[in-house]
Homo-oligomer: A and B are copies of this chain.
Amino acid sequence: MLKWDYTLYLVTDRSYIGDRNLEDCVEEAILGGATMVQLREKTASSLDFYHLAVKIKGVTRKYQVPLMINDRLDIALAIDADGLHLGQDDLPIEIARRYFGREKVIGISVSTVEEALLAEKSGADYLGAGAVFPTGTKTDAKLVSLPELSLIKKAVKIPVVAIGGINETNACDVFHTGIDGLSVVSAILARKDPRKASAEIKARITG
């Protein structure tokens, strides 16, 4: 039985892992405390994305952690992912929902209260709000201050996770805005020991 827990939501980016294998890094992150995984591939071919998604699903299934696919409805359908995460430049949620089904989870990236309200109204199951700090993963991301993050959380009923430059140093401050979880990329994947990195962030917010 899949455990839906947004507390520590790993978003992948293979540019941080060097010659390590993504499945191993994801498994280590889960063992350290990651509660959700989003597979994000911006340059892979569709076939490579699909094959990688099949492998990562093998890992997330083992631990009953939900696997979300970033952007690509086709890949989410192909591997029967648990969910799909849509940015503001991805397919409209109404279209994704038509093919992906009511029982699946769809998240939307937002950076304002307005976008958050619109996303909730259009049927999003959760929101990814950010970037809370400048980030190397998405250099063009709009910034969302901690007070704005708190306003976004208060404006909607669905879960809100924060994303963008979150690491063990700022995790506690971000989490205490009242949100449901933290999305982390480099502060887990760029570290030599993703398990330890996950455990450290997890301890700061649940300890």
Q: Which residues of A contact B (CB under 8 A)?
A: 45-48, 50, 71-75, 77-78, 88-92, 95-96, 99
Contact = CB atoms under 8 A, between A and B. Distances in A.
A156 B22 CA distance: 40
Contact of A90 (B45, B77, B96): B45
Main secondary structure, interface of A, reads helix
Nearest to A95: B78
A74 B81 CA distance: 14
A129 to B, nearest CB: 19
Contacts of A72: 46, 74
B50 A91 contact: yes
A96 B96 CA distance: 16
A77 B50 contact: no
A77 B95 CA distance: 9
A144 B96 CA distance: 38
A74 to B, nearest CB: 4
